[in-house]
Amino acid sequence: MSNTIRTVKGLVALVTGGASGLGEATARRLLQNGASVVICDLPSSNGGKVAEQLGEKCAFAPIDVTKEADVQEALRIAKTKFHKLDIAVNCAGIGVATKTYNFKKGVPHSLDDFMKVVTVNTIGTFNINRLVVGVMAKNLPDEDGQKGVIINTASVAAYDGQRGQVAYSASKGGIVGMTLPLARDLECEGIRCCTIAPGLFDTPLLRGLPEKVRSELAKDVPFPKRLGNPDEYAHLVQSIIENPMLNGCVIRLDGALRMQP
């Protein structure tokens, strides 16, 4: 049995949704621990400024995760600047709050909205996964035969979807469902796949809510009775990367929260 201590130092990561929230926290933590990072986010994001602030071991790739050409360009940047790709962390995602049918107005949920959420969250995640593995497979394997790690982001909404979350919950449920078959598909090339299902985190989305609403949400978390810190998500990302026995699993990161209807 080897006593090798695995670290993220020297690894190259691609982080989608990396300009803010969970993605930015992940990029920062990986860089602080010696990795290089390609931040991927929409052209309209502040990803360029974030990458510039984080230094020469960070690059920005403006992409739409649903567009193959955009993702291929991000991979080109990773290979050109850092010569390889070891890690992909998928944090890009969107949501809408709409019930299946508005009975007062006699209006059904917009099919376009439902399709947009599933397209970005589920199909966008798969698009990244299917393309990054071709680059990871060219890496030299470590002593376990590992060549890469994929970490996807679902949500507790995949299990405890609330009213008005049918599109978001379906999209995150799809990410949960693809985790094990991805791990099984990729084991032949030594590429692991795990998913994190976060609860309520202090991200830009929640910061836009009134403080009273944020406080009420925090009270629903059994312990610790607060919103999660994005760096706590990033810490779990690092742990998954560094622990080779984590594979094909979904890890809830929610302080024992179970969302009410």
Residue corresponding to tokens 């990244």: 128
DSSP, collapsed to helix, strand or coil, labels residue 2 as coil
How far apart CA 162 and CA 232 sit, in angstroms, is: 24
Residue corresponding to tokens 């510039």: 52
Convert 76-135 into a string of H (helix), E (strand) and C (coil). Answer: HHHHHHHCCCCEEEECCCCCCCCCCEECCCCEECCHHHHHHHHHHHHHHHHHHHHHHHHH
> Residue 168 catalytic?
yes
Strand 107-108 versus strand 101-102 pairing type? antiparallel
> How is residue 178 written in tokens?
């693809």
- Active-site choice (101, 159, 168, 233): 168
Q: Shortest CA distance to 150 belongs to which of 133, 137, 162? A: 133
How far apart CA 47 and CA 51 sit, in angstroms, is: 6
- The count of other CB atoms within 10 Å of the CB of residue 207 is 11
Q: Shortest CA distance to 139 belongs to which of 102, 100, 87? A: 87
Which residues are designated catalytic? 168
